[in-house]
Structure 1
Amino acid sequence: MTLTIPGFDHVRLPGADGVELAAAVGGHGSPVVLLHGFPQTHLMWRHVAERLAGEHTVICPDLRGYGASDKPVSTGPEVYSKRTMAADVVALAAALGHERFALVGHDRGALVAFRAGLDHPEVLSHLGILDVVPTLDMWNVLHGVPAAVGYHLFLMAQPPGLPETMIANSADAFFGSFLDAWARDPAAMPEPVRSTYLRASAEAVPSIVADYRASAGIDVTHDQADQDAGSQLAMPVTVVQQDWGARLGYDAATVWRAWAPDLDHRLTGAGHFMAEEAPDEITEAIRDLLLR
C-alpha cells in the first residue's frame, strides 16, 4: 500500500540537471515548500501539511535520491551537493508557477533549505529549520564521546564502496535504528509509515550515502566560502530544535544567529521527528514565521 497525504495531488516535476522530483501538492494561498529529513520521505509532513493547506499552497517533494524522486548516479560531488539540491527545489517551485515562496526543512532537508537561503535569497520569503545546525558548524561541534550520536555522519563520509555495502547488507536494521533512537514518541510513526520509510531508504542506499558524503566535502567548502565572505540569510528565519547545544557543549542559538540576524530560535521537548511527534507545535512555529 502506498501512503499519501490525504487530499493532496501527487505529481512529478523538473528539478535541476534533468532530474525529476516527486511531490505532494495541496491547498490554496501563498506557497510553502516543506523538505523532509533522513531516513524519511515527504510523508513525514502529512500532519503539518494538512494543517497548513487551509491557508497556503503546500508543496512536499521527495529530495533527489529519496522516496519516489529520481536517484541519479553520483558521478561527482556536485550531484548531491546541497547547492544542487537547493536548485532542485527552486526549479520545482518555478514549475508550479511560484517564483517566490517560504521554505521549511527538517534534518537533511533543512541543510538544503539553508543552502537555498544563501544561494537564492531573492526567491525565499521565509526560512524554517528543524533540528540541525549548518553543515560547517555541525562538524565543528561534533567532538569527544558525545559525538558518537552522529556516527553515521562519519560512516557515510568514507570513500565509495564500503559504506554502501555495509548499509545495504543491513538496511532495515540500519535505518530502523534511527527511527527508534531519535523518536521520543514511537507511536508517531505507526507501522505502515515506518515500513514506508524503511522500504524507501533500502531502495536508495547509494544516493543517501552520496548525500551524506557531500556533507563531508563539497557542502563544507560552500559553507566555508560563505562564512569567509560574511554571507548571511536575508529573510526571517525560525529554528526549532532539541537542546543539542546542552548535550554537545555549544550554544545553538549563537551558532544560528551568526548566519541569521532575523532569528526566532525555539527549543522543543519533542524528539527529532518533531513534525510527526508534535505537529501542532511545528505548525504554530511555521505560522508564526510566515507572519514576520
Structure 2
Amino acid sequence: MFTNLILYRIAQLPHTDPSEVEQALAKTPFVECGATQERSSGWVPPRSEDHGALVESVGGQWIARFMTEAKQIPAEVLRRRVDAKAEAIERATGRKPGKKERRELQDEAKLDLLPMAFTKQGSTWVWIDREARTLVIDAGSQGRADEITTALVEALPGLSLALVDTQTSPQAAMAHWLREQEPPAGFSIDRECELKSAGEDKAVVRYGRHPLDIAEVQQHIAQGKLPTRLALTWDDRVSFVLTEGLQLKKLQFLDAVFDGRTEDDSGFDADAAIATGELVRLVPDLIEALGGEGRAT
C-alpha cells in the first residue's frame, strides 16, 4: 500500500471522528478533467468502490486517497500548432507575431489540443494516525505532498501540520552510521547509498547492490562527501531508503511481515492493517534513532 513516506506531525486535529473528515473531504471529490481542463484533483474512495467512503478507519487508523489527473500535450505537437497559427497570421498580415502574441497563440493552441490530449492519472495514499498525531503521505516528491497537505488544511479548518524534524539531521546520522559502521538499534545498513560533495564540484558517488562496510566509503566521508540516501532495514521486517530530507523511499515489507498470513488475509483491510501496524512502530524507532524530535509540538 505504501512505497514512499513523507512524515508530518499533527499539532492540532480539529476532528475526532473519521466521519467528520469524510464530510469535509466530500466537498472536493475528484472529477475527471473537462474537455479544455488541463488538470484536476480531489479525493476518491480508498477502496476504489463507486460512491464509497472517502475516509476508511482500519484498526483506528484513518486512510484516504488523493487522485490527480493531467492532460499531456507533447511539446513538439504544441510548438507545431503555434507555428502554424503564426504562419497564418504572417500570410494574412505580412508581419510576424511578436513574443507576447506568440504566448497568446500558445494558449489558444493548448485549448485547441486539450480535448484530444491523453490523460494520466495518479493516486496517493494518505494516513492519519490520530493517537500518535502523525500524518503520513505516500508521495514520491515534496511537491506532491505539499499539494495534498494544502488540500487537507483547506478542507479541515484548524488542522495544523509541520514536517517531522529531528535533533540529529538524517544526513549527519547517516554519515555517522557509515563512518563508524554502527547502525542504530533495531536497524541494519543495506547495500545502497549516495554520497554527495558539498564543494563546488558537487561530486556524487553512488553504490548499488554493493557492501558499504568498506574503507572506500569511509574515505569519501572523511573527504567531505555526505550521504543523501542510505538503504536500511528495520527489525528484519521493513526495508527502505532514508533520504537527507527525512523521506522514506522504496518501502518494502519483508517476508517476516507475512508469516502466518493466509489467502483469506487479503484485500484493503488486511493490507492497511499490515502496513500501518508495521509503520506505527517503525516511525517512532526511526525518530528515536535520529535523536528524537527537535521541534516543540
Give the structure-2-normalised TM-score.
0.26
**By percentage of residues, which structure has more strand?**
2
Q: Which has the larger Rg?
A: 2
Give the structure-1-normalised TM-score.
0.26
